[in-house]
Amino acid sequence: MTKLAQHADPGGPPVRPAPPAQAGEALRLSGDDLLALARACGADDAGLVSIDDPGVRDERPFVLKAFPSARTLLVLVGRMHREAVRSPARSVANLEFHQSGHDLDAVARRIVRRLEDAGVRALNPAMAFPMEMDEFPERGWIVSHKRAAEAAGLGRMGLHRSLIHPRFGSFVLLNTVLIAAEVDALATPLDFNPCITCKLCVAACPVGALKPDGYFDFSACFNHNYQQFMGGFVNFVEDVAESRSAAAYREKQSYAETVSRWQSLAYGPSYNAAYCLAVCPAGEDVMGPYLADKAGHLRAFVDPLRERTEPVYVVRGSDAAEHVARRFPHKRIRFVRQSARATSVRAFLLGMPLSFQPGKAGDLSAVYHFAFTGREAARATVTIRRRRITVAEDHVGEPDLRLTIDGTQWVRLLNREVGLVRLLATGRLRLKGSPRLLAAFGRCFPS
């Protein structure tokens, strides 16, 4: 078994090459040595999980596509400074996000250097960006660090859908090093969830993305928190292209918003919220003051974010728009287009559960059969019932409405490049069932 303990100090002498594995055998490393190496290189915590672990089953094909030799995932935890993340001055919080992310990328790079010097192949995907954006808005990341961290026993995802470390709480960032070797000991998931279900994240979220019953409105979070980059940036570019004058452009983008775009390009993407992390009291290092004075915690960390005057980006007609108007009338509602738009039939089917609006579904109870023809031929069943949605492959059961259309034309309809009436009039969209059900379906996905 290759030993790395003697090489754990990054400032020490060069690492001696590891002895080659015997023919036909996978290289095996000491798990304790790998964890010691991670900490010596700057990680605040680390864990190990096999590429074959059920907890990373969905990550496996993407990891192996990037690094076919991967056998073990070394998951890294980096602490963030709590007061920076909590600050109502979001420039301070953003600086902390980016600096902590850069530090964690540097930790991963040092680990890979030490492993490479020891003759062990390894790869360090980015903590966050850059990603593989060729098929955006579909998956762009190589490995979900949160899923890997859960499998490696480094925490559990809380109500806010971020990982909560048992000691450091929500004030962590994650990274993963892919290693072309097996290890002698692997971690197991935590047998408890550090989330204390205080629901402060629900109270602080400006767009109501987090619901008391545990439902997560992904699109509400994405449209607001990520407005300055990714899909929001695409909408910004289109606003520039469609504006015939500076005055017309300023009707779509304020002076401050344009400067914010520049700042995101120059200094790193500006997150608009992440309040769910800021107010979270979970974790051994964080919980004590909260338990001693819960009202004080609210006054110090929750109220300043709730009372903050700021633009809140929502899609017109969405649940988020109603939430802001009802709960935060002092905040400035800024109507925007949906940031995560479908670019393919596959993206549409994958994205429906993420952009579905329960409040707009109301008492709708219907089964839809989609039959896409052409280059992206596919069949799917969408069921909306009791304000929840399920999407299944192929046609299941009897539909209340059947839709048949070329997949490319459907994507164009979603992106407002062609009108619904025209598609119906020309027979390119064929319906079997009440057209009112199509209108009801559309209300569940405002764009």
CATH number at residue 432: 3.30.1050.10
Last residue of some domain: 280, 309, 335?
A: 335
pLDDT given for residue 53 in this prediction: 96
Last residue of some domain: 313, 335, 357?
A: 335
Is the domain of 326 the same as that of 212?
yes
Residue 251 lies in a domain: yes
pLDDT given for residue 136 in this prediction: 87
Tell me if 401 sits within 8 A of 366, measured CB to CB. yes
Token pair, residue 269, equals 């993407």
Last residue of some domain: 276, 308, 335?
A: 335
Res. 1: pLDDT tops 60: no
| Count of the separate structural domains present in the chain | 3
**Stated pTM of the model:** 0.90
Instruction: Enter the DSSP assignment of 384.
Output: E
pLDDT given for residue 4 in this prediction: 55
Is the domain of 30 the same as that of 174?
yes
Token pair, residue 18, equals 């590891």
Is the domain of 305 the same as that of 390?
no
Res. 354: pLDDT tops 70: yes
From residue 193, alpha-carbon distances to 169, 189, 204, 289, 316 in Å are 11, 10, 21, 20, 36
User: What are the tens digits of pLDDT across the range 365-387?
Assistant: 999 999 999 999 999 999 999 99
Is the domain of 224 the same as that of 146?
no
Residue 239 lies in a domain: yes
For residue 244, how far is the Cα from the chain centroid? 35
Is the domain of 301 the same as that of 356?
no
How far is residue 107's CA from residue 78's CA, in Å, rounded to a whole number? 9
User: What are the tens digits of pLDDT across the range 113-136?
Assistant: 999 999 999 999 999 999 999 888
pLDDT given for residue 147 in this prediction: 97
Residue 193 lies in a domain: no
Band of residue 3 on the pLDDT scale cut at 50, 70, 90:
low
User: What are the tens digits of pLDDT across the range 136-153?
Assistant: 888 899 999 999 999 999
Residue 194 lies in a domain: no
Is the domain of 27 the same as that of 169?
yes
User: What are the tens digits of pLDDT across the range 90-115?
Assistant: 999 999 999 999 999 999 999 999 99
**Burial, 58: exposed, middle or buried (Cβ in 10 Å; 0-12, 13-18, 19+)?**
exposed
66: nearest Cα among 139, 170, 156: 139
Residue 411 lies in a domain: yes
Grouping H, G, I as helix, E, B as strand and the rest as coil, residue 29 is strand
Is the domain of 261 the same as that of 391?
no
Is the domain of 166 the same as that of 32?
yes
User: What are the tens digits of pLDDT across the range 53-82?
Assistant: 999 999 999 999 999 999 999 999 999 999
Res. 266: pLDDT tops 80: yes
User: What are the tens digits of pLDDT across the range 400-428?
Assistant: 999 999 999 999 999 989 999 999 999 99
Is the domain of 222 the same as that of 178?
no
Tell me the pairing of strands 388-393 and 45-50.
unpaired
The DSSP secondary structure of 298-366, one letter per residue, reads IIIIIHHHHS---EEEE-TTSHHHHHHHHH-TTSEEEE---SS--SSHHHHHHHHHHH--HHHHTT--E
Residue 190 lies in a domain: no
Is the domain of 85 the same as that of 234?
no
Residue 189 lies in a domain: no
Domain holding 84: CATH number? 3.40.109
Is the domain of 123 the same as that of 257?
no
Is the domain of 270 the same as that of 124?
no
Segments forming the whole domain that contains residue 277: 200-335
User: What are the tens digits of pLDDT across the range 283-323?
Assistant: 999 999 999 999 999 999 999 999 999 999 999 999 999 99
Band of residue 195 on the pLDDT scale cut at 50, 70, 90:
very high
Average pLDDT, the chain: 93
Res. 200: pLDDT tops 70: yes
Tell me if 201 sits within 8 A of 280, measured CB to CB. yes
Question: In angstroms, how far apart are the furthest CA atoms of the chain?
Answer: 75
Grouping H, G, I as helix, E, B as strand and the rest as coil, residue 49 is strand
Residue 283 lies in a domain: yes
Res. 14: pLDDT tops 50: no
pLDDT given for residue 131 in this prediction: 93
